[in-house]
Amino acid sequence: MCINKEEGNYMENKTINGKVLMVIAPKDFRDEELFEPMAVFESNGLKVDVVSTKKGECVGMLGSKVYVNKTIYDINNIDDYDAIVIVGGIGSKEYLWNNTKLIELVKEFYDKGKVVAAICLSPVVLARAGVLKGKKATVFPAPEAIEELKKYGAIYEDKGVVVDGNVITAKSPDYARLFGLEVLKAIERLSR
């Protein structure tokens, strides 16, 4: 592991072979929560597939546009991936919270011992998939989101990033880069 002693941060200079599946809402995903972790992954040699619930142009809350040519419904072999990372933003509640295919994918990744991660409002998807039961987790501090985590058995912690085994959650775009680094560390741990 490459730890920078001065900063205590993970250094981005290691090449890890692998692939990350990043899921965004087709509208109103949080821009930094996609791009900052993606930059961490790609600068360390990981390939990233960005998918949504529909193909075409997806627009972030801050106006970023991302073209996706694959949807979550096209993901048939999760063995191609080391991690699933669900991006937050206000679109998460509308498009991702109740998506049965996404919930099914999260369960599959978790059951196969892969990294399962979500940021901002998206840890609710992990809760609804049943993977947060008895696990420490965080979420954007909206009362409804916190209640959802607790309802599904998560141990809610009001922290920036929470790691519990292979499950990583973060509470807001302020922690997007740190979230990406923690996902990277978890992937490296599993690839040993």
Burial 138-161 (b: 16+ CB within 10 A, else e): bbbeeeebbebbeebebebbeeeb
Tokens found for residue 75: 């993901």
Place of tokens 């992954």: 41
- Return left, alpha or beta for 155; rule: phi > 0 is left, psi -120 to 50 is alpha, else beta: beta
- Long-range contacts of range 176-179, CB-CB < 8 Å, 24 or more positions apart? 176/30, 176/32, 176/33, 176/35, 176/36, 176/37, 176/119, 177/36, 177/37, 177/39, 177/40, 179/33, 179/36, 179/37, 179/117, 179/119
Place of tokens 């998560």: 154
Choice among 58, 72, 116, 120 that is catalytic? 120
120 flagged as catalytic: yes
Residues identified as active-site: 120
